[in-house]
Structure 1
Amino acid sequence: MKHKLAIIHTTPVTVDSLKALANELLPGVEVMNWVDDSILPQLAANGGQIDEIEDRFRQYALIAEKAGASCILSACSSIGELVSRVGPQLSIPIIRIDDAMAEFAVSSSETIGVAATLETTLQPTKRLISGKAALAGKAVHIEAVVAKSAYQKLLAGDKEGHDVELAEVLRELASKTDLVVLAQASMARVISQFTSEEQTRFLSSPRLGMLRVKQVIEQL
């Protein structure tokens, strides 16, 4: 039986990179994408109230299930907490893209940096890491930073300016912590420009998230 992976995105930015990762790590698995780029602006306007998004997210998950998906990957950390709410209503597994990353961060570090360009992504990521630490019975210290002006540059179409500013913020945070977690999957491409030694100080969710999907699909 050929498996299908449904990915729910809140930005078109993650579509190509996650599809490439799926093709690399899950050869033969068909990828289906749902993109709703109205979610992040809505969360920015309402202060991150994901309750307003819950019903819409559930509908996307149910549609993916009806379309024959074997597994669903939620590609957005801002709405990651909806996965545990919607999961029990599905007959197929649904995975948070940042779940495996948070587990790895807690298992390998005591002072963890969390970087985001959106405030709405920062808080869910901090809660996820704190929750994983509590489950592991481990005390961790979280240093968080939001590169707001970098995101504004991205919105204005200044991709290069966004990357330069974000890289500066990330390097500064890395100098104060054991490891830096990137709260948004879309931030991963910025660290790909760093030296291989520098890159070991950062964790991004896409590859770890897709490896978790691989584990789940192999067990189906």
Structure 2
Amino acid sequence: MKKKLGCLHAHYSNITYIEQAFQSIDSIELVHFVDPGLIQRASMGADGLAFKVKEQLEWMESCHIDAILITCTNYIALLEEEPPKLSIPILKIDEPYFEAICEDEQPQMILFTNPGTVEGTMKRLQQYAKQHEKDIDVVAKVIDNTFELIMQGKQEAYNSVIFQTLHHIRGEQRKTSVAQLSMVEAAQQFENETAFMIIHPLKPLVKFVLGSIE
């Protein structure tokens, strides 16, 4: 019998990435929930948003799913402020991603397009590394004036900026990763064309989910 995985996204574009990642996994059925308004509201301050996320997750649990996957780092950070008491697992997309980063002790750079996710992601990464007794040398870099493109539905322009940025920083002495699902398509294209490995959240995700709910 298939397990139902409820996926909470901050933007509709993330659905495609998750669907592609699990397309060959017959044992899991994906059920998607999207709330782009939360990201817009977060830009004005986080007051009261933790309760909103908690409410959303409780609603998702009532839809008879077997586990919840949160694909937005902002949601994850808010979740920790007011964690709900659910009877099903809550899986955070950044945890297997952090594990992949922490496995490598060489200097690394994490690229972002949304400056609003940097602080929460980096804080959680440092906490994860400390909990697992890992020493990491990681810096964050924001690709300025880019996130607006994906929010406006300009996917090709968005991918092009990320692709060009990856080319530009290729010579730097740091291993590179992209932190957001919306950046995965450009990262995969760059990796395919250059054979330059880019870490991204989808690479370790399927194994992590299967190990958590099957």
TM-score, length of structure 1 as denominator length: 0.86
Write the mapping of 1:88-103 to structure 2, written as runs, cut at 5 A: 89-103=85-99
CA distance in 2, matches of 1:36, 1:210: 23
The alignment partner of 1:31 has SS state of strand
Mapped contact 2:191–2:197 kept (Cα < 8 A): no
CA distance in 1, matches of 2:35, 2:80: 20
Write the mapping of 1:1-220 to structure 2, written as runs, cut at 5 A: 1-24=1-24, 26-46=25-45, 49=46, 51-85=47-81, 89-196=85-192, 198=194, 200-218=196-214
- Calculate percent identity across the aligned residue pairs: 20
Bigger mean CA offset, 9-18 vs 194-203: 194-203
Report deviation, 1:64.
1.8
Please list every run of 5 or more consecutive structure 2 residues that lacks an aligned counterpart in the other structure.
Answer: none
Q: Are the structure 2 counterparts of residues 191 and 108 from structure 1 closer, same or farther at C-alpha, using a change threshold of 3 Å?
A: same
Q: Are the structure 2 counterparts of residues 100 and 199 from structure 1 closer, same or farther at C-alpha, using a change threshold of 3 Å?
A: farther
CA distance in 1, matches of 2:103, 2:15: 29
Mapped contact 1:87–1:94 kept (Cα < 8 A): no
Q: Are the structure 2 counterparts of residues 174 and 93 from structure 1 closer, same or farther at C-alpha, using a change threshold of 3 Å?
A: farther
The alignment partner of 2:146 has SS state of helix
Matched pairs, number: 214
Task: Give CA-to-partner distance per residue, 1:187-217, whole Å, 9 cap, x none.
Answer: 1001121143745531111242232111111
Q: Are the structure 2 counterparts of residues 101 and 199 from structure 1 closer, same or farther at C-alpha, using a change threshold of 3 Å?
A: farther
CA distance in 1, matches of 2:111, 2:126: 15
Report deviation, 1:33.
0.9
Please list every run of 5 or more consecutive structure 1 residues that lacks an aligned counterpart in the other structure.
Answer: none
Q: Which amino acid aligns with 2:28?
A: V
CA distance in 2, matches of 1:105, 1:9: 23
Q: Which amino acid aligns with 1:209?
A: L
